[in-house]
Amino acid sequence: MVSLQSTGRFLIGLDIGGTKLAAVVADRDGTILQKARRPTEAARGPRLIVESLCEMVREVAGLASVRLTEVAGIGVSCGGPLDTATGIVYSPPNLPGWDGIPLKAWLEESLNIAAFVENDANAEALAEWLFGAGRGYRNVVYMTMSTGIGGGLILDGRLYRGTCDAAGEVGHITLVPNGPRCGCGKRGCLEALCSGPAIARRARELITETVPGSRFQVPGQQADRPDVQTGRPDLMVDLADGDVNAITAETVMNAARRGDATALRVVDETARYMAQGLGTLINVLNPEIIIIGTIIVKAGDLLLSPIREYLKQETWDRLYRTVQIVPAGLGDAVGDLAAIAVVRQALEGYVKR
């Protein structure tokens, strides 16, 4: 166990994804000085990947003319489950073979710099709080909204990790008992209704099952709506080059922006489900701000406006007026800053103690 060097002027961040590794060196304010990227090549297994990460640390430090003795600590953002106290990683779905890997210990042994391992959703929450849309707030709910829905909670001005580093699984609030099957095994989770793939699936279902006159119409249904003759219910299919299975959440948003009725219905349903989930979070956590990434960043007010409107029915006026619902502020920089935020937070905790 290596101690944080609280006088170190630089921070290093490592982002371990299923397809790519990233290393960055930053100053203590979060300004990124240098970065490096490599493919993860996950099949290599954890030993070789951690060796790559250590090489990348030396590489970015060299590029920035930073000596490793000037580095306060290393922050690591990695898929969970993992144990932040021991820095051991337990079988993240995107890292096959990482079963009980002492990531913190391996990095510290190799580099002689204190390392702090955090799950990626918590690390992103820290980044948005320290450097992004959550700066200056005390009670922050951060929600990713892309392939899955995850999250992280800043409560009373610090990261709340829960009992086994598993708090903030906001994607697994149950919205609809016996609703669609979720990747987690449950049914009707927020993630099973509002993740990118779930939004696309609901759109496909509407097109193939319920839109009268659709090219994907259920046999026997009548083309009884005026807009059917124009082919507009199939705008999403057209945008997906004629392949209903190629429709994504982005297709839905694009079609909705052009006024497509089916896409607008999917957007409206998405907003209703999101408002139900956010309402539960607001009633339980009474946050000042809810920051939502990826899909909300791209969709903007197309989704945020109806979410805010439906939310009025999901909580009390006093709590509604207390909370802002905003898109994430860091965009594509969130991955790099997430790892930096992990060590910055560890450092502040260290200084305060």
Minimum Å distance from CB 268 to a copy of itself? 14
Q: Which is nearer to a copy of itself, 35 or 172 (CB)?
A: 172
| Residue 148: burial class (beta carbons within 10 Å; 0-12, 13-18, 19+) | buried
Q: How far apart are CA 349 and CA 340, in angstroms?
A: 14
State the DSSP H helix or E strand holding residue 57, giving kind and residue range, or none if neither.
helix 46-63
Q: Which is nearer to a copy of itself, 143 or 347 (CB)?
A: 143
Q: Count the neighbouring beta carbons within 10 Å of the beta carbon of residue 102.
A: 17
Minimum Å distance from CB 56 to a copy of itself? 31
Residues in 227-266 that interact with a copy of itself by CB under 8 A: none
Residues in 145-174 that interact with a copy of itself by CB under 8 A: 153, 155-156, 158, 160-170, 172-174
Q: How far apart are CA 351 and CA 353, in angstroms?
A: 6
Distance of CA 347 to the CA centre of its chain: 24
Range list of β-strands (E), the chain: 10-16, 20-27, 32-39, 71-78, 82-83, 88-90, 99-102, 115-119, 140-143, 151-155, 158-160, 289-292, 324-327
Judging by DSSP bridges, how do beta strands 71-78 and 82-83 pair with one another? unpaired
Q: Which is nearer to a copy of itself, 55 or 269 (CB)?
A: 269
Residues in 182-221 that interact with a copy of itself by CB under 8 A: 184-186
Q: Which is nearer to a copy of itself, 185 or 219 (CB)?
A: 185
Q: How far apart are CA 114 and CA 73, in angstroms?
A: 5
Q: How far apart are CA 340 and CA 329, in angstroms?
A: 16
Minimum Å distance from CB 92 to a copy of itself? 13
Three-point CA angle 276, 260, 176, nearest 5°: 20
- Kindly report the three-state secondary structure assignment for every residue of 184-239: CCCECEHHHHHCHHHHHHHHHHHHHHHCCCCCCCCCCCCCCCHHHHHCHHHHHHHH
Q: Which is nearer to a copy of itself, 59 or 288 (CB)?
A: 288
Q: Is residue 42 part of the contact set for a copy of itself (CB under 8 A)?
A: no
Q: Is residue 48 part of the contact set for a copy of itself (CB under 8 A)?
A: no
Q: Is residue 136 part of the contact set for a copy of itself (CB under 8 A)?
A: no
Residues in 298-317 that interact with a copy of itself by CB under 8 A: 313-316
Q: Which is nearer to a copy of itself, 132 or 279 (CB)?
A: 279
Q: Which is nearer to a copy of itself, 188 or 327 (CB)?
A: 188
Q: Is residue 120 part of the contact set for a copy of itself (CB under 8 A)?
A: no
Which two structure tokens, joined as six digits, stand for 57? 């640390």
Q: Is residue 348 part of the contact set for a copy of itself (CB under 8 A)?
A: no
Which of residues 5, 77, 84, 139 is near a copy of itself by CB under 8 A? 139
In 3D space, the residue among 320, 348, 349 whose CA is nearest the CA of residue 30 turns out to be: 348
Residues in 70-109 that interact with a copy of itself by CB under 8 A: 81
Q: Which is nearer to a copy of itself, 30 or 152 (CB)?
A: 152
Which two structure tokens, joined as six digits, stand for 74? 């290393």
Alpha-carbon torsion, ordered 19, 160, 75, 88, to 10 deg: -70
Q: Which is nearer to a copy of itself, 137 or 250 (CB)?
A: 137
* Count of residues touching a copy of itself (by CB under 8 A): 45
Minimum Å distance from CB 2 to a copy of itself? 25
Q: Is residue 280 part of the contact set for a copy of itself (CB under 8 A)?
A: yes
Which of residues 2, 105, 176, 246 is near a copy of itself by CB under 8 A? 176
Q: How far apart are CA 181 and CA 188, in angstroms?
A: 6
Give the interface with a copy of itself as residue ranges (CB under 8 A): 81, 138-139, 153, 155-156, 158, 160-170, 172-177, 184-186, 276, 279-281, 283-288, 313-316, 318-319, 322-323
